[in-house]
């Protein structure tokens, strides 16, 4: 069976992905001319499975090594994994022998994607970086590190500028190794429209967000069916704190003192208050979020101005010509009852976000609903676009 | 089969209900000593089925007449209804012949409960009132009428004081007839803790509420399964407007001008801004609501003070000894992941509400989660407690 | 809060249970006159929670000891358990200190109910029996033991007659100790109508059963929500073998050889072929089973005769006056679309079964649908009725 | 947005479809060299939406006319439809003005696909045929007509040979017009493996099938969420009769008497008894069916022989090179817990079927599980492949 046939849902085929490349790269921006070998850590987990599905059809990256726990190491991938995707295991990796997550086993990888669980990600990613490997991680462990950028690829790829400072902490300084993290899935979805709004209308000073999150956000086996069928769980451990903190780092800038030391400013120029209420709902994929925002600017923009600004938003990852970037970052729905996770989570192969119900808020200024695919832009897709940007900006040495 | 046995779930048995009567009625407050005949309009609908289930086991009220559409009139109830409750049709009504919804057919009823759909409720309820019948309606038609009280029975039964003014509009004035409405299901749940908080800490000046509403709120057949399985619908037609408006009427007071004319003040002394975002989720019964409030009082109460005030709240309906009132109006959960609809919707037979996750809000003052059973306190139970209060206050002539 | 109030769903109240006692016990059948102390093993698990909910309201039995893993032992029950029932923890056990599952800790219990997991049930139950304790187990470990009866309480309580032989295997023979098991949840539901049919029409020679089983049958956390939302899993490990084997033991008789040695005959007089196909579906409680049967008798009974025989069926447990036995064992639905798990699983507090769609089978003789509540008659309720029968037959010494 | 981008799920793209064409067409079998204009009746319904999604990317067919009820006629398609697919409305039809379902409005269509509801399909399809139009219908109205073939495209395309006899009934005989129907969705899935087994092992004499059918089989709004969440409905009106009857017509042959009159033999050479039990389950797409079969041949094939025969099965539609035919008709799963609707319904874009759990049946010979995508091979995809075969066999004049 050819790769194309093995993917009845084309989320992931190169043919489709390439369709999203809105424009040819700008002059001077070199696309890679030969395949870049990459590795996947935590390859048997749910995020790892998504990495593999996406990378198997990637125009630049070729899977070179798969890492998992010692229990899986040594087995062919198909035997080590409990595959849970709706597309078959890509034929290119079915028989790949899984390795242990040691830097030596991945030393030929120019990029290493990490879908590791937080309980092991810290130590392993640290070791990989120390071995001068470039790590793009979906794990939470280094998100709060003052030298590690926390990047939502449609928002703040400019934060890659902290990398040299991160490398300089080592002695001798690293030349290729670093860690880049992407954000929590529920943070990712809603900061994209928030960033678009700040670009158009200046700083936001307060946000209240209530999430209705899909079960896939909890991994596998994750949420027990007895807890979620015919139910809502109005609590996800640590989630509200992540949203409230990560939003500041992502939407904030980087300041530089007289000695040239860079610091994430946490949105300090206009202090931003964020209040999150997180809920788990019986939805498989796709986080729906109800957002109310208050702008610093008086009078605030009208709902129509907000709609137009969101629809017009073009992230740098798109301008650069990243192959996995969505062609349209934000679709703005006019129908009153959209976005809905089941109907809208596949928008732009899950790399874009859907916004709807933009209207006035009686308490803040504007309220709207945002839907983001937590297993795509909310996880593996983010890491991959981050890596693509890093390649185009020559942050990754290949 | 005895009535007791026919109800494997005792939501509804007199034995259980009576257990909720916290105290004997206060001196001077007379409980009825003989059964009060009541009627149910819209008896074959989902709200009507709930009225019947509750009334069949009521200690005071006895079902005397059932009304439905001309299509159902003339049939025995069991043949007219598409029964959808988890308990069987109460034996007392199985063979009752359904009547048309005309005042003549209900003239012996001291109280008429209306579970009619909005498209017919207006005209029929108006006719019943004009025929000097006391109507307790779950329909929305008269909620905004300046002479009709909109009563959540654990909040503002004091609004019954408008009834004489409503009756005086007729010529000759009505002596027994009137209309009392209860609130929309999603409004009902969250105004109970809001009222408790205003009693304890003074006026609230702003509320943002995001709801996750059960499918039963839409009636039968209501929401198509294709629209809600593995999905969230971030929109319920008219619902946000209802919450935003009804909250003001319910939490507001009644002012009286020099001529003794009473007016609902819509919370005018301290203008209250309410912003609602309503969502439908795949839950059968029980509306979950995430609420953020800002108090007028500075500094605002602490989360612990809020918890204590909610737990201590005792509504008038309970003090009066209403048999259907919950023994505890609000349970405050300490577990981080409660309330949940599937586990908590049966609290106090669905007549109480569950609050949890009381914590500070980074943007407003306090945020919390409230769960209310939309088919109980959110619908038929409210009408019935309203009627009980009206009986005890001699507003109903029997 | 009184026990009555703490149970908004009356599955479990003594008041309701007693209503199911169809008749006063037959002359000579003595009901206990003082409370019988009982213990629960595996008290923190899902089956254990059901045992506790039912026993807390039992007219004869009083909970004396709760046993769980060493990790839980020493803690008050409320702290040891992750309570998942829709009714609160019964007040009588909230503060009971959990014990280890050793016979010494339960020596005052006249009956010990076991909700242990299979991986530990074998050894522990064996030790309890050896210590002369009477064990009623929901675990599978001893179901195939040739001296242990496998009893569905509405079917084959006559199999208790093997107990003396079981006790005689010990030296010295046990005087009080024994093990009685109840059947797998999916076996239990459908053997009840099969037994009723064999009583009325003689032996069945073949059965094909396809099950649609609730997630609660897998315990907690059990089935991952990612595996079952919007899905069917057409496989439950070991389940088909259990149904195919257990049916023979339960519906078969006991033969006695010349030396008085009793043997379960596995339906040998008329060999019975059973074919099961088991599926997990997104239903919380209640196993639905589609059954086709072929009778030995020619011509076979008509659908109407089958309906009448099922409706008329009265099990011995009911005749004896067991307080937890259903008043009607089998309800036969005439509506074309019943039984349904959500509407019918509470029938007779889950102690009865619902049958519908009795019609001719083009391949076998008769086909029908049966619904049984897997967490009630399919689990804890079975053990408890078995114990009640054993008390009334003086098999339990108290 | 290009067509490719508008389809984030490639169920439907020509690129993917063509990948399924296993082989080039046999010599002499001419593929069309210019686009064939086609029409869709019932274009706004759920089946109509599927037709449009598939046809918009079809390599041969081009949508020329869309028909719907008079209420929709005259509106642009996007305004007339309540679009419920996960892919956007194909750009080619967004602004197409919907027509009334009259033959005149479709006279330029070489093929008309009908997704009409049964209550109007009879009259309209009859009129279209009388106007010499070729109709491929998903409706049930003509399935039992003795001159209309009932074709599952992976099974009995040979039944197209009845068409001349159907045309000859008219005076003058039709030259281009006819009606071809495809089968009920639940019949379609399981007759494919049955046919493969009969091809390999000779006639089957009995089948018992229990279905677990997706809600999409009932159309929109179809099943109320209140009826199916946390539930199974063990009944679908008319469904069992359809399976039991249609199976005979599809698996049977065509006999010809001395006068050359052809008759569907309803599997008369080896009478086939079929018993179906149909259930609705909370699954969005994909019917799962548990099947037990008894072969005429003694001894029957072993499970392993059955697996091999199923995997090797190649339908004529595939050999002919139909672009929408699956490249593999049947995938046989070795994993114990497959097929599952959520994971396997996209196999071969929903045009193939998945079989698993092939094992011995204690009562019949062999039992297995089959999964078929009811909205693809179970509906519109069937009609389209039928039309492709008719084109290749020159039954359609174009």
Is A5 domain-assigned?
no
What pairing do the DSSP bridges indicate for beta strands B111-114 and B36-41?
Answer: parallel
Residue B356 has pLDDT above 60, yes or no: yes
pTM, entire model: 0.93
Give me the helices (H) in A222-327, please. Answer: 225-228, 239-251, 303-312, 316-319
Residues C105, C170 within the same domain: yes
Q: Which residues of D are catalytic?
A: 185, 287
- Label residue B370 by pLDDT band (50, 70, 90): very high
Rounded Cα distance between D225 and D235, Å, is 16
Rounded Cα distance between A192 and A176, Å, is 29
Is A398 domain-assigned?
no
In angstroms, the Cα distances linking C131 to C101, C146, C387 are 12, 20, 18
In sequence order, what are the beta bridge partners of B280? B213, B233
Q: Quick: pLDDT tens for C308-328.
A: 999 999 999 999 999 999 999
Q: What is the chain C residue with the closest CA to B282? A: C229
What is the average per-residue pLDDT within C171-198?
A: 97
Least confident of B22-26, D152-156, D349-353, D358-362: B22-26
Rounded Cα distance between B186 and B191, Å, is 9
Distance from CA of B223 to the nearest CA of D (A): 6
Q: Specify the CATH number for the domain of residue D387.
A: 3.40.50.720
ipTM topping 0.95: no
Residues A166, A232 within the same domain: no
What three-state secondary structure class fits D209?
strand
Residue C388 has pLDDT above 50, yes or no: yes
**The two structure tokens encoding residue B251:** 């939490």
Residues B153, B85 within the same domain: yes
Q: Catalytic: C287?
A: yes
Give the mutation candidate from D190, D208, D361, D372 for the C interface (greatest C CB count, under 10 A): D208
Give the whole-number percent of chain D exceeding pLDDT 90. 91
Residues D236, D154 within the same domain: no
Residues of D in contact with A284 (CB under 8 A): 342
Is A3 domain-assigned?
no
Query: Among the options C101, C185, C278, C322, which is catalytic?
Result: C185
Q: Specify the CATH number for the domain of residue D306.
A: 3.30.360.10
Sole residue written with tokens 């548990």: D290
**The two structure tokens encoding residue D131:** 């106007």
What three-state secondary structure class fits C294?
strand
Dihedral of the alpha carbons of C115, C120, C124, C125, in degrees to the nearest 10: 50
- What is the extent of the structural domain holding D108? 10-184+380-392
Q: Quick: pLDDT tens for B210-258.
A: 999 999 999 999 999 999 999 999 999 999 999 999 999 999 999 999 9
Is B72 domain-assigned?
yes
**The two structure tokens encoding residue A195:** 């960033």
What is the average per-residue pLDDT within D6-33?
A: 45
Residues C116, C218 within the same domain: no
Q: What is the chain D residue with the closest CA to C362? A: D275
Tell me which DSSP letter residue C174 carries. P
Residue D83 has pLDDT above 50, yes or no: yes
Residues of B in contact with D228 (CB under 8 A): 225, 229
Contact D4 A13 (CB under 8 A): no
Residues D190, D180 within the same domain: no
Phi, psi for residue D113 in degrees, rounded to 5: -95, 135
Residues D228, D193 within the same domain: yes
The beta strand positions in C69-192, using DSSP E, are 99-100, 111-114, 134-137, 178-181
Among A337, A263, A251, which Cα is nearest to A296's? A251
Among B100, B91, B130, which Cα is nearest to B39's? B100
Distance from CA of A227 to the nearest CA of C (A): 8
The answer to whether residues D350 and D324 touch, using CB atoms and an 8 Å cutoff, is: no
The answer to whether residues C69 and C107 touch, using CB atoms and an 8 Å cutoff, is: no
- Cβ-nearest to D226 among B215, B226, B227: B215
Q: Is the Cα dihedral B74, B75, B76, B82 positive or negative?
A: negative
Contact D229 B228 (CB under 8 A): yes
Among B290, D243, B381, which Cα is nearest to A212's? B290
Burial of A3 (C-beta count, 10 Å sphere; 0-12/13-18/19+): middle
> DSSP labels for A146-205?
TTS-B--TTT-GGGGGGHHHHHHTSSSPPSS-EEEE---HHHHHHHHHHHHHHHHH--EE
The answer to whether residues A341 and A283 touch, using CB atoms and an 8 Å cutoff, is: yes
| Amino acid A22: pLDDT | 36
Is B369 domain-assigned?
yes
The answer to whether residues B179 and B139 touch, using CB atoms and an 8 Å cutoff, is: no
- Label residue D370 by pLDDT band (50, 70, 90): very high
Our measurement of the distance from residue D125's CA atom to the centroid of its chain's CA atoms, rounded to an integer in Å, reads 17
Is D2 domain-assigned?
no
Element (H, E) at D386: helix D381-392
Rounded Cα distance between A132 and B227, Å, is 50
Distance from CA of B358 to the nearest CA of D (A): 30
What three-state secondary structure class fits D189?
helix
How many CA within 13 A on the CB side of residue B127?
15
What three-state secondary structure class fits D384?
helix
Residues of D in contact with A15 (CB under 8 A): 4, 15
Q: Quick: pLDDT tens for D87-104.
A: 999 999 999 999 999 999
Pairs of CB atoms within 8 A across A/B = 133
Residue B180 has pLDDT above 50, yes or no: yes
Our measurement of the distance from residue B35's CA atom to the centroid of its chain's CA atoms, rounded to an integer in Å, reads 22
Phi, psi for residue D190 in degrees, rounded to 5: -90, -20
Pairs of CB atoms within 8 A across C/D = 133
Residues of D in contact with B217 (CB under 8 A): none
Each residue's pLDDT, cut to its tens digit, for chain A (398 residues) gives 233 322 233 333 333 333 333 344 444 567 898 999 999 999 999 999 999 999 999 999 999 999 999 999 999 999 999 999 988 999 999 999 999 999 999 999 999 999 999 999 999 999 999 999 999 999 999 999 999 999 999 999 999 999 999 999 999 999 999 999 999 999 999 999 999 999 999 999 999 999 999 999 999 999 999 999 999 999 999 999 999 999 999 999 999 999 999 999 999 999 999 999 999 999 999 999 999 999 999 999 999 999 999 999 999 999 999 999 999 999 999 999 999 999 999 999 999 999 999 999 999 999 999 999 999 999 999 999 999 999 999 999 88
Rounded to a whole number of angstroms, the CA Rg of chain B reads 20
Query: Among the options B64, B267, B287, B328, which is catalytic?
Result: B287
Is D3 domain-assigned?
no
Element (H, E) at D331: strand D330-332
The beta strand positions in chain C, using DSSP E, are 36-41, 61-68, 99-100, 111-114, 134-137, 178-181, 204-213, 254-256, 262-264, 273-280, 287-295, 330-332, 353-360, 366-372
- Cβ-nearest to C288 among D230, D234, D364: D234
- Cβ-nearest to D228 among B84, B216, B225: B225
Which residues touch B119 (CB under 8 Å, ≥6 apart)? none
Residues A174, A66 within the same domain: yes
Q: What is the chain A residue with the closest CA to D352? A: A8
Q: Which residues of A are catalytic?
A: 185, 287
Residues C388, C358 within the same domain: no
- Cβ-nearest to B232 among A235, A237, A340: A340
Structurally, how many domains does chain B consist of? 2
Rounded Cα distance between A193 and B111, Å, is 53
| Amino acid A29: pLDDT | 67
Phi, psi for residue C332 in degrees, rounded to 5: -110, 120
Dihedral of the alpha carbons of A184, A187, A193, A199, in degrees to the nearest 10: -90
Contact B222 D223 (CB under 8 A): no
Among A149, A328, A168, which Cα is nearest to A254's? A149
Distance from CA of D236 to the nearest CA of C (A): 8
Among C152, C153, C156, C210, which Cα is nearest to C183's? C152
Distance from CA of C357 to the nearest CA of D (A): 8
Distance from CA of C40 to the nearest CA of B (A): 23
Contact B8 C11 (CB under 8 A): yes
Rounded Cα distance between A31 and B369, Å, is 50
Q: Quick: pLDDT tens for D69-81.
A: 999 999 999 999 9
Mean of the per-residue pLDDT values of chain B: 93
Those chains having 3 or more beta-carbon pairs within 8 angstroms of chain D are A, B, C
Is B48 domain-assigned?
yes
**The two structure tokens encoding residue B69:** 């559409």
Residues C261, C355 within the same domain: yes
- Whether residue A343 lies within 8 A of chain D, CB to CB, comes out as yes
Residues 166-225 of C with CB under 8 A from D: 206-208, 210, 212
| Amino acid D5: pLDDT | 27
**The two structure tokens encoding residue B268:** 């005018």
Q: Pick the more confident residue, D359 or C33.
A: D359
Query: Among the options C287, C322, C328, C333, which is catalytic?
Result: C287
What are the contacts of C161-167 at 24+ separation with CB within 8 A?
A: C161/C254, C161/C262, C162/C254, C162/C262, C162/C264, C163/C395, C165/C261, C165/C262
In sequence order, what are the beta bridge partners of D207? D274, D293
Give the mutation candidate from B12, B13, B16 for the C interface (greatest C CB count, under 10 A): B16
- Label residue D30 by pLDDT band (50, 70, 90): confident
Residues of A in contact with C221 (CB under 8 A): 221, 224, 226-227
Rounded Cα distance between D295 and B397, Å, is 77
How many CA within 13 A on the CB side of residue D357?
26
Among A284, A278, A277, which Cα is nearest to A222's? A284
Residues A210, A336 within the same domain: yes
Contact C229 A284 (CB under 8 A): yes
What totals of helices (H) and strands (E) does chain A contain, helices first?
13, 14
Among B361, B375, B354, which Cα is nearest to B215's? B375
Residues A130, A67 within the same domain: yes
Give the mutation candidate from C225, C229, C285, C375 for the A interface (greatest A CB count, under 10 A): C225
Residues of D in contact with A337 (CB under 8 A): none
Distance from CA of C343 to the nearest CA of B (A): 5
């Amino acid at each position: 069976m050819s790769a194309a046939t093995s993917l009845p849902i084309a989320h992931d085929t190169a043919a489709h992905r390439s369709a999203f490349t809105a424009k040819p790269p700008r002059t001077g921006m070199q696309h890679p001319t030969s395949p870049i070998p990459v590795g996947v850590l935590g390859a048997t987990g749910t995020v790892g499975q998504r990495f593999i599905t996406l990378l198997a059809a990637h125009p630049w990256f070729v899977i070179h090594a798969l890492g998992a726990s010692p229990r899986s190491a040594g087995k062919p991938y198909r035997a080590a994994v409990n595959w849970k995707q709706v597309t078959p295991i890509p034929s290119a990796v079915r028989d790949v022998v899984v390795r242990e997550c040691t830097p030596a086993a991945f030393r030929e990888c120019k990029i290493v994607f990490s879908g590791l669980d937080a309980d092991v990600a810290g130590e392993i990613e640290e070791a990989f970086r120390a071995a001068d490997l470039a790590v793009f991680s979906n794990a939470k462990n280094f998100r709060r590190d003052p030298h590690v950028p926390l990047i939502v690829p449609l928002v703040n790829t400019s934060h890659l500028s902290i990398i040299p400072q991160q490398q300089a902490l080592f002695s001798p300084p690293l030349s290729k190794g670093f860690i880049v993290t992407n954000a929590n899935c529920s943070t990712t979805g809603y900061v994209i429209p928030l960033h678009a709004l700040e670009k158009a209308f200046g700083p936001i000073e307060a946000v209240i967000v209530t999430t209705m999150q899909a079960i896939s956000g909890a991994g596998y086996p994750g949420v027990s069916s007895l807890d979620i069928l015919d139910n809502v769980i109005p609590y996800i451990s640590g989630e509200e704190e992540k949203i409230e903190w990560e939003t500041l780092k992502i939407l904030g800038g980087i300041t530089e003192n007289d000695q040239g030391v860079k610091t994430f400013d946490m949105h300090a120029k206009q202090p931003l208050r964020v209040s999150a209420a997180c809920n788990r709902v019986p939805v498989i994929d796709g986080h729906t979020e109800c957002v109310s925002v208050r702008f610093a600017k008086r009078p605030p923009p009208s709902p129509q101005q907000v709609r137009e600004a969101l629809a017009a938003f073009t992230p740098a990852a798109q301008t650069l010509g990243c192959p996995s970037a969505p062609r349209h970052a934000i679709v703005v729905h006019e129908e009153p009852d959209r976005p809905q996770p089941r109907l809208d989570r596949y928008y732009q192969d899950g790399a874009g976000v859907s916004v709807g119900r933009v209207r006035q808020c009686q308490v803040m200024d504007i309220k709207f609903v945002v839907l983001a695919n937590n297993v795509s832009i909310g996880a593996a897709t983010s890491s991959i676009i981050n890596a693509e940007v890093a390649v185009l900006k020559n942050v990754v040495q290949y």
